Amino acid sequence: MTLFIEGHAFGYELSRVAQMFFPGEKVVFQEGAPCGAPALGARLCGGVLTVSYREASGRLHSAPEETAAPGCTPGEMEHMFGVMLYRLLSRATGVCPPWGVLTGVRPVRLFMTELMRGADDGALRRRFMDGSLVSGEKFDLALQTARIEQPLLSRSTPDSFSLYVSVPFCPTRCAYCSFVSQSVERDAALIPAYVDRLCEELEYTGCLAKELGLRLRTVYFGGGTPTTLSAEDLTRVMGTVADRFDLSGLWEYTVEAGRPDTVTPQKLRAIYAGGARRVSINPQTLSDTVLCAIGRRHTSAQFFEAFAMARAAGFDCINTDLIAGLPADTPEGFAASVDGVLALHPENVTVHTLTVKRASRLTFDEARSELELVGGMVGYARNACEAAGLHPYYLYRQTGTLASLENVGYAAVGTEGLYNTYIMDETHTILAVGAGASTKLRHPKTGRIERVYNYKHPTEYIGRFDEALRRKQRVRLFYQDSGL
Ligand code: SF4
**Residue 193 predicted with pLDDT over 60:** yes
**Residues 430-458, mean pLDDT to the nearest whole number:** 95
Closest residue to atom 3 of ligand 1, CA basis: 224
Task: Return the minimum-mean-pLDDT range out of 177-181, 303-307, 367-371, 445-449.
Answer: 367-371
| Type of residue numbered 8 | H
Kind and range of the H or E run holding 321 = strand 317-324
Peptide linkage before 224 cis (omega within 30 of 0): yes
Query: How confident is the model at residue 397, as a pLDDT?
Result: 94
**Residue 359 predicted with pLDDT over 60:** no
Task: Give me the helix-helix angle, 231-244 and 191-212, nearest 10°.
Answer: 20
**Residue 229 predicted with pLDDT over 50:** yes
Closest residue to atom 8 of ligand 1, CA basis: 177
Sorted by where each starts, the structural domains of the chain and their CATH numbers stand as: 1-94 (3.30.160), 156-474 (3.20.20)
Query: How confident is the model at residue 360, as a pLDDT?
Result: 41
DSSP 165-231: EEE-EESS--TT--S--EEHHHHGGGHHHHHHHHHHHHHHHHHHHHHHT-EEEEEEEEES-GGGS-H
Question: In the β-sheet with 317-324, what is the strand arrangement from edge to edge?
Answer: 391-396, 407-411, 348-353, 317-324, 278-280, 252-256, 215-223, 160-167, 429-433, 438-442, 449-453
**Residue 132 predicted with pLDDT over 60:** yes
295 CA distance to ligand 1 centroid (A)? Answer: 10
Closest ligand 1 atom number to CA of residue 183: 5
- Pocket residue to mutate for ligand 1, from 186, 225, 291, 319, most atoms within 8 A of Cβ: 225
Q: What is the C-alpha to C-alpha distance for residues 61 and 34, in angstroms, rounded to an integer? A: 13
Confidence category of residue 364, pLDDT binned at 50, 70, 90: very low
Closest residue to atom 6 of ligand 1, CA basis: 174
pLDDT over 90 percentage in the chain: 85
Provide Rg for the chain, Cα atoms. 24
- Pocket residue to mutate for ligand 1, from 167, 173, 292, most atoms within 8 A of Cβ: 173
Q: What is the C-alpha to C-alpha distance for residues 31 and 43, in angstroms, rounded to an integer? A: 10
Closest residue to atom 5 of ligand 1, CA basis: 173
314 CA distance to ligand 1 centroid (A)? Answer: 25
Q: What is the C-alpha to C-alpha distance for residues 320 and 228, in angstroms, rounded to an integer? A: 17
173 CA distance to ligand 1 centroid (A)? Answer: 6
**Residue 337 predicted with pLDDT over 50:** yes
Closest residue to atom 2 of ligand 1, CA basis: 224
Closest residue to atom 7 of ligand 1, CA basis: 177
Q: Which of 67-76, 197-206, 362-371 has the highest mean pLDDT?
A: 197-206
- Pocket residue to mutate for ligand 1, from 179, 297, 358, 457, most atoms within 8 A of Cβ: 179
Q: Which residues contact 211 (CB under 8 A, 6 or more apart)?
A: 476
Confidence category of residue 177, pLDDT binned at 50, 70, 90: confident
Query: How confident is the model at residue 358, as a pLDDT?
Result: 42
Query: How confident is the model at residue 90, as a pLDDT?
Result: 96
Closest ligand 1 atom number to CA of residue 178: 8
The whole model's pTM is what? Answer: 0.93
Closest ligand 1 atom number to CA of residue 296: 6
219 CA distance to ligand 1 centroid (A)? Answer: 20
Task: Return the minimum-mean-pLDDT range out of 104-113, 148-157, 185-194.
Answer: 185-194
Q: What is the mean pLDDT of the chain?
A: 93
Cβ burial, residue 147 (10 Å; 0-12/13-18/19+) = middle
**Residue 237 predicted with pLDDT over 80:** yes
Closest ligand 1 atom number to CA of residue 295: 6
pLDDT over 70 percentage in the chain: 96
Q: Which of 11-25, 133-147, 171-185 has the highest mean pLDDT?
A: 133-147
**Residue 286 predicted with pLDDT over 70:** yes
224 CA distance to ligand 1 centroid (A)? Answer: 6
Which residue ranges have their beta carbon within 6 Å of ligand 1? 170, 173-174, 177, 179, 181, 223-225, 258-259
Beta-bridge mates of residue 312:
none
Q: Specify whether the CB–CB gap between 419 and 252 falls below 8 A.
A: yes
In terms of residues, how long is the chain?
Answer: 484
Confidence category of residue 467, pLDDT binned at 50, 70, 90: very high
Query: How confident is the model at residue 357, as a pLDDT?
Result: 54
**Residue 367 predicted with pLDDT over 60:** no
- Pocket residue to mutate for ligand 1, from 187, 259, 320, most atoms within 8 A of Cβ: 259
Q: Specify whether the CB–CB gap between 153 and 162 falls below 8 A.
A: no
| Type of residue numbered 185 | E
Q: What is the pLDDT of residues 378-389, one digit of tens each?
A: 999 999 999 999
**Residues 447-467, mean pLDDT to the nearest whole number:** 94
Q: What is the C-alpha to C-alpha distance for residues 437 and 452, in angstroms, rounded to an integer? A: 9
Query: How confident is the model at residue 361, as a pLDDT?
Result: 41
**Residues 236-244, mean pLDDT to the nearest whole number:** 98
Q: What is the pLDDT of residues 269-280, one digit of tens each?
A: 999 999 999 999
